[in-house]
Structure formats: C-alpha cells, structure tokens
C-alpha cells in the first residue's frame, strides 16, 4: 500500500486526512484526563489526599510550601483532616504534622461531625481498629493537644 494505491490510504489503512485529527483528539483527551486527575487539584484537595494515603512526606511539603494551607478545612459532614488522621491504622506521623500546624486550633482538634457529633478523639477511640498498633499513641497525642470526647465537650 503505497503511493500507487488508488484508495488514498496509508500503510495502516487509515485515510491520510483523518490521521492527524485522530491523533490530535487522542492526545488532547490524554492531556485533559491528566489535568483533570492530577494537574487541576487544589492545594486543599492534595492535602486531603496526602492525609488519606498517610503520606506524611507529601503532607509536610504541602503544608510548609503553601501559605494558604490549613488543617481547618471542613469536608462532608463537618469532618476535618484530624478526623481522618485519627482513624489511621499505620502511622502517627500524619497526625503529628497536622497537630503541629499553626492552623490547628483547639476548635479544630475538638470539631464535632454532623449529625453524630464525633470529635477526632472519638474517631481514634471508636473508629480505629483496636488491633491497630498506633491506636493508643494516637489517643495520647490528641489528648496531649487538648482533645476531648463528644460527651465531655
């Protein structure tokens, strides 16, 4: 299939005029997907992902390198980052980084979720696996920063 063929196709059977359009759409779609999933996330979303993935290195970098970074952001049902970090099963470093951040006030530490009113300490006590090796350390860390349970607020 070369220049002597009368059906105007290239070696792969595609019409020459359609090939750039097809490749252009494919590349454009790939770029759009990349930016949708990776490139367009806000700092707030990237911080949340770092907490959920217990990626303390990324979390620390995001909090240190962004002036607008905060641990006080509220998510669905009034959860903040401490609620997720307090439920950790693998490490205490993520929680320590959050507790040490200047935006981590006593109000953030004792934020109640809706509709049940659970604080991060409640999550550490009741949501974390009793078999998790970090459970007691997480509870101690929260209490050392003034955390209280829902019934004692």
Whole-angstrom CA distances from 101 to 47, 109, 130 are 13, 11, 27
Whole-angstrom CA distances from 28 to 6, 33, 79 are 32, 9, 37
CA distance 82 to 73: 10
CA distance 67 to 132: 34
Q: How confident is the model at residue 135 (pLDDT cuts 50, 70, 90)?
A: confident
Inter-residue contact 86 to 121 (CB < 8 Å): yes
Give the percent of the chain with pLDDT over 70: 69
Q: 9: helix, coil or strand? A: strand
Helices 93-100, 43-52: axis angle to 10 degrees equals: 140
Q: What is the pLDDT of residue 22?
A: 43
Q: Which of 58, 90, 77 is closest to 119 using CA atoms?
A: 77
Predicted confidence (pLDDT) at residue 55 exceeds the cutoff of 70: yes
Q: pLDDT for 70-123, tens place per residue?
A: 999 999 899 999 999 998 878 899 999 999 999 999 999 999 998 889 999 999
Q: How confident is the model at residue 128 (pLDDT cuts 50, 70, 90)?
A: low
Q: What is the pLDDT of residue 82?
A: 96
Q: Superfamily assignment of 43-148 in CATH? A: Ankyrin repeat-containing domain (1.25.40.20)
Domain-wise residue ranges, the chain: 8-40, 43-148
CA distance 100 to 103: 9
Beta bridge partners of 15: 9
Higher pLDDT, 16 or 40: 40
Predicted confidence (pLDDT) at residue 20 exceeds the cutoff of 60: no
Does this model's pTM top 0.85? no
């Amino acid at each position: 299939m070369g220049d002597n063929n009368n059906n105007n196709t290239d070696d792969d059977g595609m019409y020459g005029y359609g090939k750039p359009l097809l490749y252009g759409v494919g590349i454009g779609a790939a770029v759009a997907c990349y930016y949708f999933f990776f490139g367009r996330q806000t700092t707030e979303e990237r911080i949340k992902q770092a907490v959920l993935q217990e990626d303390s290195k990324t979390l620390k970098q995001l909090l240190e390198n962004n002036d607008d970074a905060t641990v006080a952001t509220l998510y669905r049902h009034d959860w903040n980052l401490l609620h997720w970090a307090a439920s950790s099963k693998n490490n205490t470093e993520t929680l320590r980084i959050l507790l040490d951040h200047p935006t981590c006030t006593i109000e953030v530490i004792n934020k109640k979720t809706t509709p049940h009113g659970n604080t991060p300490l409640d999550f550490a006590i009741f949501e974390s696996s009793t078999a998790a090796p970090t459970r007691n350390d997480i509870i101690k860390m929260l209490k050392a920063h003034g955390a209280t349970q829902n019934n004692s607020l």
